[in-house]
Structure 1
Amino acid sequence: MGATGVSAKDERVEPAEVVTDQEETAAAPAPRRWSSLRVARRPRLWFELLLIAISYGTYSLIRNAAPDQVAEAQSNARWIWDVQDSLGLAFERGINHAAESVTWLIVAMNYYYATLHFIVTIVVLVWLFRSHPGRYGATRLVLFATTGVALLGYYFYPLAPPRLMEGMDFIDTATVHHTWGSLSAEGTAMASVSNQYAAMPSMHIGWSLWCGITILVLARPLWLKILGALYPVVTLLVIVATANHFWLDAVGGMICLAFGYAVARLWYGAFCYRMPRRIPPTVPDTGNAGKARNAGAQPS
C-alpha cells in the first residue's frame, strides 16, 4: 500500500463501473425512439402514398377473402330485417322502390355510391396533408383503425345486402339501369372477385362520417362545414335507396369509427383535431449529442 492509500484491487474495480455506465447509456435511447412514434411528425408524401396503397390492397384482399357463406349471410340478413321490423324501422324497401321510380335520381345515386366513397376520402386526406400536417397522422390513424376493425365484421359476420336477399322484392338498381353503382352486382365481372356478403359494417358510412366530422371541425367557410355535415346524411340515403345496406349496417360503421377515434386518442394522447396544426420544419435534437452541440454553440 502506497502513501495514497489506494490499492491495486481498488484500481481494477473502476474500469468495470465505467463499462456499466456506458451500457446503461447505450440502452437509454430505446424508450425515446419508441415514444417518438407517438409524436406528430411532418408527413412525407412518398410514405403516405405507399402506406395508403398497401393498406387499401390489404383491406381489399382480406375483405374479399372472407368465407363466402351464403346461407349464413342470408340468415343474418333476415334476422336484421326482422329486428328492424320489430322496431318499426324497416323502411329500406319503401325508399328503394321510391327512388327507383325516378330514373335520373337513382342513376345519380348509383354513381354516387361507386365514386364519392373514394373521391371525397382522398380529397380530405390531401387537404389534411397540405393544410393540417400536424393533425394529419392522428386523423389518418382514425381512418385506418376504423377500416381495420371493420374487417372483423366482414370475416365473422357475413351479411347479404338487401338487394341480394332471398324472398324479398328489393331492386338492384345498378343491374336494372346498367350502371356500376354497385361494384359487386350480380352478373358483372366484379362479382367474381368481390365479396358480395361483406355488408356489415358499412364503410360508406364509416368513411363519409370521418370526412364529414373532419370537414365540420377543421374547415373555416360555413358553406364547407354545411357540406361536411350533409355528406354522411346523403350517403346514408344512397346506401339505403340503392339497396346496398340496411340502416343497421350504418350503425356498425359508426361504432367502428368510434373505435378509430379511441385508438388515435390513446396513441397520441390527444384528440386528433386538437393537435397542433403545423409541425416545425426541423425537430430539435434532445439527445446527449444535441445537448453537447447546443452547449458548444453558446457564445463565450
Structure 2
Amino acid sequence: MSSSSPNLTVPIHQPEWNSKPAWKLPGWAEPIMVASILFAAMYFTRRRNYSILPRRAPYTSFLDAPDSARSSDDLLPYEAVSDSDEDAAFTASTKCPPKRRRWCGFTVYTPNTSRFRHHLHSRLLQKFPFLVEMLYWIINYAFYRMTSISAQALFAKTGIWNVAQRHGLWILQFEEYGPLSWLFPLKERDVQRWFMAGHQDALTFLNRTYALIHIPGTVGFIAWYYYAAPSHRTFAIARRTMTLTNFLAFATFVCYPTMPPRLLPAEYGFLDSVRHDDAQSVWMSGRFVNALAAMPSMHFGYAFCIGCTLLWHSTLLRARWGGLERGEREKSLLGKIGYVALGFGYPALILTTIVATANHYFLDAAVATLYVFFAFAANRVFFVFIPLEDWFLWCIRAEKPVPSTGERMRGGEREG
C-alpha cells in the first residue's frame, strides 16, 4: 500500500465560516481550573482525625511494622488511620529491618522507610495522601513532554514532518481501501463536512470541548475516583491502566509520528477548525508539545477507560453477580442510569469531537481502545517498580502514606 493516493484528494473548496471563533480563555484559566480540582481532591480525601504535627512523643504503630509492604499501593488492604489508632495499635518493635520483596522471580531486600514516619513531609503525605497521585501524573506529563524531542531526534535525517504526513495519508488509505475498510463506514472528512454544512456553532462547541475536556476532565476523574472508589485496590487498577496506556501511546508517538487530518495539505479536504476558533489548550501548546501525535488518540483512550470505569462503578451487573466490595452498596436505579449514560455518552462525545475537529482519525481511536484493553490485562507490570519506590522513599527520607480511598465506606469519614 503506497503512502498516498490521488483517490484521497478532493476538489479544493473552502466553505464559508458563518460562526464566529469561540471566546478564548485567558492563559491562566486552565491551570487555575486544574489546580482547583487537585486542591479540592486533597481536601476531600484528607485523612481526618490526623494531625500533621505530632501531638505527643514519638511512638510506633501498626503502620510502622517492620514487615510493612506499604511502598506498594495495593498489595495489602488499608484501614482508616488516626493518631488514636496508632496508640491503640502500639507495637514494641523499634527496629526497621529491610523489606523483603519478590521481583521478577527473585527475592530482593529494600530499605524499610517506617523509621521516617515522624518526619514532617511524611506526616504531610499521611494527612493528604492524594499528593502521591499528583506526583504520579506529574511524572506522566513529563514523559509526554519528552516525546516531541525524542521523535524529532529519531527522524532528524528524514524530516519528521514529511514522515508524519506519510503516516497520516497511509491511515486514510488504510481506512478507505484496506482489508478492514468495512470497519470504517464513516469518513472523517464527511463527518467534518456535516458540521460545516449548517452546524458550525456545534463544531465551535466541539473545538472548545477538545481543548478543555482532556486535561481537566481526566484530572477530575482521577480526583473523583480516588474519593469514590470502593477500595484503593480498585482505584489503582484504573490508574495503572490509564498510566500503562499512556506509556504505550508515548512509545507510538516517538516511533510512529502521525500528522492529524487538520494539518494535512488542503487537497485532502480537511479544515483546521481548531485554528479558526483559536481553541488550542494551554497544555497542548509550547515548545515541547508534540503536534504530530495523532496515533493513537489519547483523548479517546482516556475517555474509553473512564467510560468503562463508570460502567463498572454503576454496579449494574456486579450486584447480581455478587461482585460488590466490602462496604459497597448497590446503586439506586437513578444512579445506575446516570453512570451508564455517562459511561457510554462520554466516550461517544469525545469520539465525535476528535473526528469532527479533524484532530484524529477513526483508526487512532481504534488503536487507543486496543491499548486500553492490553493495559488493563497487563497493568500489574508496574509492580516491578515497587523496589525502586522503596529506594526513592529512602532517599527522600519519607514513609509512603496509607491511601484514604474507601475510608468513607468503612466508616472513616465519620471520624473527626
SS in 2 for 1:66: helix
**Distance in 2 (alpha carbons) for counterparts of 1:182 and 1:51:** 21
SS in 2 for 1:97: helix
Give yes or no for the alignment of 1:59 onto 2:140.
Answer: no
Shift of 1:152: 1.2
SS in 2 for 1:195: coil
Percent identical pairs in the alignment equals: 26
Structure 1, 131-140 or 111-120: larger mean CA deviation: 131-140
* AA of the residue aligned to 1:202: S
- Asked whether the equivalents of residues 74 and 236 of structure 2 are also in contact (C-alpha less than 8 Å), the reply is no
- Asked whether the equivalents of residues 69 and 75 of structure 2 are also in contact (C-alpha less than 8 Å), the reply is no
Alignment of 1:131-142 (within 5 A): 131-132=228-229, 133-134=231-232, 135-142=234-241
* AA of the residue aligned to 2:195: A
* AA of the residue aligned to 2:312: V
Structure 1, 89-98 or 101-110: larger mean CA deviation: 89-98
**Structure 2 length as normaliser, TM-score?**
0.52
Match of 1:47 in 2: 132
Match of 2:272 in 1: 172
Match of 1:241 in 2: 356
Match of 2:312 in 1: 217
**Distance in 2 (alpha carbons) for counterparts of 1:104 and 1:140:** 35
- Asked whether the equivalents of residues 211 and 279 of structure 2 are also in contact (C-alpha less than 8 Å), the reply is no
SS in 2 for 1:136: helix
Please say which structure displays the higher CA radius of gyration. Answer: 1
Match of 1:205 in 2: 300
Give yes or no for the alignment of 1:127 onto 2:224.
Answer: yes
* AA of the residue aligned to 2:272: D
Cα shift readout 1:183-215 (whole Å, capped 9, x = no counterpart): 76xxxxx36542221111110111000111111
Cα shift readout 1:241-288 (whole Å, capped 9, x = no counterpart): 0000110001111121112101225668xxxxxxxx837799xxxxxx
Give yes or no for the alignment of 1:160 onto 2:266.
Answer: no
**Distance in 2 (alpha carbons) for counterparts of 1:50 and 1:182:** 20
Shift of 1:160: 0.9
Pair 1:242–1:217, CA change in 2 (3 A): same
Alignment of 1:72-83 (within 5 A): 72-83=163-174
Pair 1:255–1:64, CA change in 2 (3 A): farther
Cα shift readout 1:38-92 (whole Å, capped 9, x = no counterpart): 5156592121112222222222223454226111111111111111111263610
**Distance in 2 (alpha carbons) for counterparts of 1:151 and 1:267:** 16
Match of 1:10 in 2: none
- Asked whether the equivalents of residues 146 and 288 of structure 2 are also in contact (C-alpha less than 8 Å), the reply is no
Give yes or no for the alignment of 1:226 onto 2:350.
Answer: no
* AA of the residue aligned to 1:151: F
Shift of 1:124: 1.8
- Asked whether the equivalents of residues 76 and 158 of structure 1 are also in contact (C-alpha less than 8 Å), the reply is yes
* AA of the residue aligned to 1:158: P
SS in 1 for 2:268: coil
Give yes or no for the alignment of 1:109 onto 2:206.
Answer: yes
Counterpart selection for 1:263 from 353, 358, 378: 378
**Distance in 2 (alpha carbons) for counterparts of 1:145 and 1:267:** 8
**Distance in 2 (alpha carbons) for counterparts of 1:104 and 1:95:** 15
**Distance in 2 (alpha carbons) for counterparts of 1:127 and 1:108:** 25
Pair 1:63–1:255, CA change in 2 (3 A): farther
**Distance in 1 (alpha carbons) for counterparts of 2:352 and 2:175:** 16
- Asked whether the equivalents of residues 140 and 246 of structure 2 are also in contact (C-alpha less than 8 Å), the reply is no
Structure 1, 175-184 or 154-163: larger mean CA deviation: 175-184
Shift of 1:217: 1.0
Pair 1:214–1:113, CA change in 2 (3 A): same
* AA of the residue aligned to 1:178: D
**More helix by proportion, 1 or 2?**
1
- Asked whether the equivalents of residues 113 and 239 of structure 1 are also in contact (C-alpha less than 8 Å), the reply is yes
Match of 1:252 in 2: 367
